[in-house]
Structure formats: C-alpha cells, structure tokens
Amino acid sequence: MKKFSITLLTIVLFVVLGLSVFAADTPIKIGLSFSDFTLERWVREAADMTELARKAGAQVIVQEANHDPKIQNDQIENMVLQGANVIIIVAEDGAAAATAVDAAAKAGVKCIAYDRLIKSPNVSVYISFDNVEVGRAEARGVLAVKDSGRFALLGGSPTDNNAVLVRQGQMEVLKSYIDSGKIKIVADQWVPNWDTTEALKIMENMLTATNNQIDAVVASNDSTALGAIEALRAQGLTGKVPISAQDATAAGCNAVAKGELTVSVYKDIRLLVPLAIDIAMKLAKDETPEGLKNFTFAVLTGDKNLPGSVPCNFLKVVGVTKDNLYDVVVKSGYQKYDEVYKDIPEKDRPPKI
C-alpha cells in the first residue's frame, strides 16, 4: 500500500512538472485588431507592433476589418478562439466593439483600447494621445493665421470617440471668438471613417453652399484636411485659407512644407507602439502596468450617464507648422527629409543635415 502511494505521488509530481514546463514553453499570443489599413499610420503601427511583439517572444495575430464593426467583432472572437492572451484593438466603432471586449473578458482575454476608446468597463487599459489637446493645438494653429471671419469645421469619424475629444479641444479655444462674434461657423460636418474622398465631397459642398466665402477650416486630421485641400485647390483657395490637421503623415507634412496645410499635430507613434506591447506583455503575465491613471467614461465621452472607468495613459502632442517642421518631424527621424520636402525647390528647403 505504501509502495502504491509513493508511485502515485511520483506520477502526480511528474504530471505537475510536465504541465509547468508546458506552460513555461507556451508563448504569449497577442492579437492586433485594426479597424482598417487605409490610414498610413495603421499600416506602420501594425508592422512596428508585430516586430516588437516577436522580439519580446510573443506570437502575433494581425487582422484588419475594412471599416466593418461586425467583421471586427468576429475577428476579435476568432482571436480569442485562437488562444490570444491579450488583444490590442483599434476600434472601428467604440460602442460596437464593446460587445467583443465583453465576450473576450468572459473568456479571460484582456483587451487594450489602442488610440480609440472602447466603451466597455471590461477594457483593461486605454492608451492614446491627449486628444483634447490635439483639438486645442489645431484651433490655435489656425487662429495664429486667421482669428476672425467665416469658419468651417470638419470633424472626424462619428463612430470614433477621439473625434469627440478633438472637437471638445477645438471648441475650448474657438468658443470665446464665436461668442464675441469675431468668428462665425458657417459649415460643420463630421467625416465618416476620417476618409479623404468623403472630406473632399463635403468641402466641395461647403464651398458651393457658401459661395466660396470660407476664411478658415478647422479640420481634424491629415486625411480629412488633404481632402479639403483638394476642394480648395479647385477654387484657387489653396494656401489662402488656413486649415488644421493631425498625425504628421508624410503627405500632411509635405502639405505643411508647401504652405497648403497650416498645422498638423504631431503624435509620435514610436512612443505609443512600444507602450502598447509593453502593457500587453505585462497583462499577459498578470503583472500591473505602470503609469496608468483612471478616467471615468463620463469624462472621456462627455456622456454623464455612461458608467465605469478605465486605466489610461495619454501621451503628449506637438503642433507642427512650417516653422518647426524640420526640427520636430525630420530631425527626429519621424518622417524622411525627401518625402517632407518633395516637389519643393531647393532654395525653399532647409539645409539637409
């Protein structure tokens, strides 16, 4: 009987040790769920995240939803089934994605809302830039050139809470000018999916409706601003009507260098990407990420009836104009000199150092 007990104990010990070794050898699996790859930054960030995660020893699953909230939710569900430990999500629709996040949480899978808020208390972490400050910087950039007259507003995607926060920042700066009568808002529209073609059509309609009587455009990102610039160009207004943006994309920076775009708010994704992977690895190991501060959904969305809170980390932003474009964007290596100053005469370029 004693011999049998020792043998059974030995077997149990080997099984436990075997399971421990298996668990230790099982790599962390990170899912990357992107709303789309039409924006330049998402393609770049997906590649950078994949590289960093693999260097950290994790397996990576990358999927893109082509602007379809249902497809994105299905893809997130599929990542859970594939054994993802953590899923980093760029949500197409912050409300719709909550369903997938809630289901993932029930399965023990942690989710990070990356750059775009997901309206679920089951989100483990929300990381982004200071989107309210983005809006402030956009408005300040336009006001530095034109602080009175007839203004048009081009908001971001109505399904992206970032667009709401950006607009909040814009209006904080513009409100006193509007209240005093110095500025009149003659057109205001949101742009589905932050899409350039949609922004072009919307701006064309705004110009037609106002008989081209628009003195400034507060646009919310590079893709919407670049669409608006095309519409302005067709009316001979490029460079005459100040316009704002964010993201400091290569095309956006080139437009700044040409004097077509007044300001693009620089958000260094080289800081956000490693932060996301670092947090994902910590969450996968049941460790607590550092540098997080709780914000309520009511504060983040402006909806006082939305309950719950989420740990957040918001990174700083910088408004980029023609004056600091080279120092901030090019010297830092964020964008290449030849792309930023493409088609610009040599005499009008800063020295290439």
Same domain, 259 and 337: yes
* The residue to which tokens 């006082």 are assigned: 304
Same domain, 201 and 328: yes
Bridge partners (DSSP) listed for residue 155 = 190
Residues 6+ apart with CB under 8 A from 268: 315, 332, 334
Task: Answer yes or no: are the C-beta atoms of 264 and 320 closer than 8 Å.
Answer: yes
Nearest partner of 137 among 113, 163, 172, 110, judged by Cα: 172
CA-to-CA dists, residue 242 to 126, 148, 295, 342, angstroms: 33, 12, 34, 21
Task: Answer yes or no: are the C-beta atoms of 246 and 265 closer than 8 Å.
Answer: yes
pLDDT tens, residue order, the chain (353 aa): 444 344 444 433 333 434 444 344 689 999 999 999 998 889 999 999 999 999 999 999 999 999 999 999 999 999 999 999 999 999 999 999 999 999 999 999 999 999 999 999 999 999 999 999 999 999 999 999 999 999 999 999 999 999 999 999 999 999 999 999 999 999 999 999 999 999 999 999 999 999 999 999 999 999 999 999 999 999 999 999 999 999 999 999 999 999 999 999 999 999 999 999 999 999 999 999 999 999 999 999 988 899 999 999 999 999 999 999 999 999 999 999 999 999 999 999 999 87
CATH number at residue 175: 3.40.50.2300
* The residue to which tokens 């037609």 are assigned: 208
Same domain, 146 and 228: yes
Q: The domain containing residue 142 runs over which residues?
A: 131-267+318-348
Q: Which two tokens stand for residue 52?
A: 């960093």
Task: Give domain status of residue 216, yes or no.
Answer: yes
Same domain, 229 and 94: no
Q: How many domains does the chain have?
A: 2
